[in-house]
């Protein structure tokens, strides 16, 4: 019985860590994904922004800290592209 409870605890921990990982990737993904879409698939930009990233767009439009974070991320990506090209 202890083995089942221990395995259940490990399974729960795995799924919680997995969920936080996905959330972390989602929060960091808008700038690179949208830059890619603008460059390679301009028609998909508006659809992705208005659906997939709508919650993050709302936060960026209503909270200066979030807006600054994405501005900083955009600047950092510009510098990385400039450095590697």
CB-CB neighbours of 50 under 10 Å: 10
> Of 35, 70, 38, 77, whose CA–CA distance to 56 is shortest?
70
| pLDDT at residue 47, rounded to an integer | 84
Q: 5-17, pLDDT tens digit by residue?
A: 556 657 888 899 9
Q: What is the DSSP letter of 36?
A: H
Q: 41-79, pLDDT tens digit by residue?
A: 888 788 888 889 999 999 999 999 999 999 999 999 999
Question: Residues 6 or more apart from 77 whose CB is under 8 A from it?
Answer: 31, 32, 35
pTM attached to this predicted model: 0.78
């Amino acid at each position: 019985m202890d083995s089942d409870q221990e395995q259940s605890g490990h399974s729960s921990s795995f799924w919680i860590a997995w969920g936080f990982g996905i959330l972390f990737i989602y929060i960091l993904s808008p700038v690179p994904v949208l830059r890619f879409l603008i460059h390679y698939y301009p028609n998909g930009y508006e659809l992705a922004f208005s659906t997939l990233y709508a919650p993050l767009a709302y936060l960026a439009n209503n909270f200066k800290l979030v807006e600054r974070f994405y501005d900083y991320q955009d600047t950092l990506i510009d510098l990385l592209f400039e450095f590697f090209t």
